Structure 1
Amino acid sequence: MDAAIESIRSFNRFFTRHVGAIDARFLDTDISLPEARLLFEIAQREPVAAQTLQAELGIDRGYLSRVIARFEQRGWIRRDRREGDGRIRSISLTEQGRAAFDQIDRRQRAAVAQDLAPLAELERDELVQALTKARLLLDPGAPMDFVIRPARTGEVSQIAARQSILYAASHGWGRALEVLEAETVAAFLRDFKPDREQCWVADLAGVIAGAVLLTDEGDGTARLRLLHVEPFARRRGIGDALVRSCVQFARDVGYDRIMLWTHTVLDAARRIYARHGFECIDVEMHSEFGDPVQGETWRLTLEA
């Protein structure tokens, strides 16, 4: 914990200096970064009440009042009483305020572009993913939409590695599970049947938030494998969306049934399978991953 705290504090010191957070003249303008942030929110939300700005930014009410007063003195904003409630005055940008905002916005975009310019496309993607994941880890409820898409080159192997890490942390399942998952993805990649098999990824603003595989077992049987959802992305319906993709694909290509193997201790996954019509047809104890654990075989029969 001490090392993690120091790492974050060190990054914060670097980043506040890097973006000029403590400069009196942000991007060589007449306002500071907090004032520029407030101007941005007004531009995005206008007409907006001061109470809304305070709640969104979490800033002191007195400080907010002083900044709004300065903006008004500069002719950047106007304040109009709301129809139906004269106690609330909505804030909007004037033409001068819009021009000031546009200037700051252009300078900030140019500054970010200058940071990104030396990076290759792959490095830019990695930076964006790292920043997005950092936000999701610190704010799991951040409003972001996910999409379900086929896995790209390299991602299937990442999925196996990520699952091994997650299960080692949550259940102590180590090398034996990692071997099984590595063999599963190796066979999937080596023998891939594009018309009968697929790996789907839940993409959350460029970050892999979960994944699942569907493989051909022969004789009209498909197998659902390696379903997982990242802890920072749960309670968004991602698991259901991944399983739904498997079931729809299996129906579309003419499978008769889908089988899967899971464990009694994986309550969240079992609830997802049950919601989609899977039924547990066999239970058996095993010690493949160390301590004895109860494995379960589930089946979904697909109607023509």
Structure 2
Amino acid sequence: METIEIREFTAADADWVVARHGVLYAQEAGFDASFEALVAEIVASFATSHDPARERGWIAERAGRRVGCIFCVRLDATTAKLRLFLVEPETRGTGLGRRLLDTCLGFAKHCGYARLSLWTHESHRAACALYKARGFACESSHPVHSFGQDLIEQSWTIDL
């Protein structure tokens, strides 16, 4: 198996991040097009106005093919937010998710953030298990109707 490299996000990755989120979340969770539209807004904002000293995105690649991503953005002066965490199905179970998460956590610590937060849905069980194993705590959980689905929305945080 080829090595999976993690590199910094570039503007050339934007379309892939949006498209893969749209496709995978539609296939795996039944999300409608409003989810892909939200991802497009997040990626466009990041690409045009992020602070590279305190915000970063990463792309995982295997043999020149993108297989995952994660982003760390500023929420406020002391809190960073994890966004757009995705691992392609064929690389799940390889430790890539943990590597991407550790990359994001390490960057947030290096930047001096005190906390890292994230927003997800209870149905993303593998990701939630990874967050819990890494020390995140689920701070809130409530039902919502989003992206064409009835979901349980969750907010998780970890002190850095």
Same-fold call, TM > 0.5?
yes
**Counterpart residue number, 2:127:** 269
1:115 maps to: none
Structure whose residues are more often strand by fraction: 2
Q: Hey, what does 1:167 align to over in structure 2?
A: 25
Asked whether 1:257 is paired with 2:90, we answer no
Highest RCO, 1 vs 2 (Cα 8 Å, sep ≥ 6) = 2
8 Å contact from structure 2 (residues 6, 59) kept in 1:
yes
- Which protein has the bigger helix share? 1
- Please, which runs of 5 or more residues in structure 2 have no aligned partner? none
The letter of the residue matching 2:136 is F
Say whether residues 1:194 and 2:52 are aligned partners.
yes
Partner of 1:54: none
SS where residue 58 of structure 2 aligns?
strand
Stretches (4+) displaced over 6 A: none
- d(CA) in 1 for partners of 2:73 and 2:82? 7
- What is the distance in 1 between the residues matched to 2:24 and 2:106? 27
1:238 counterpart (96, 108, 111): 96
CA RMSD of superposed structures (Å): 1.0
Paired-residue identity, %: 34
Q: Distance in 1 between matches of 2:84 and 2:112?
A: 22
- What is the CA-CA distance between 1:257 and the residue it aligns to? 0.4
Matched positions, count: 160
Match of 1:96 in 2: none
Aligned position for 1:145: 3
Q: 2:80 aligns with which of 188, 210, 222?
A: 222
Q: Which runs of 5+ in 1 are unaligned?
A: 1-142
SS in 1 for 2:37: helix
Residue 191 of structure 1: how far off its partner (Å)? 1.2
- Residue type matched to 2:40 in 1? A
Equivalent residue, structure 2, for 1:39? none
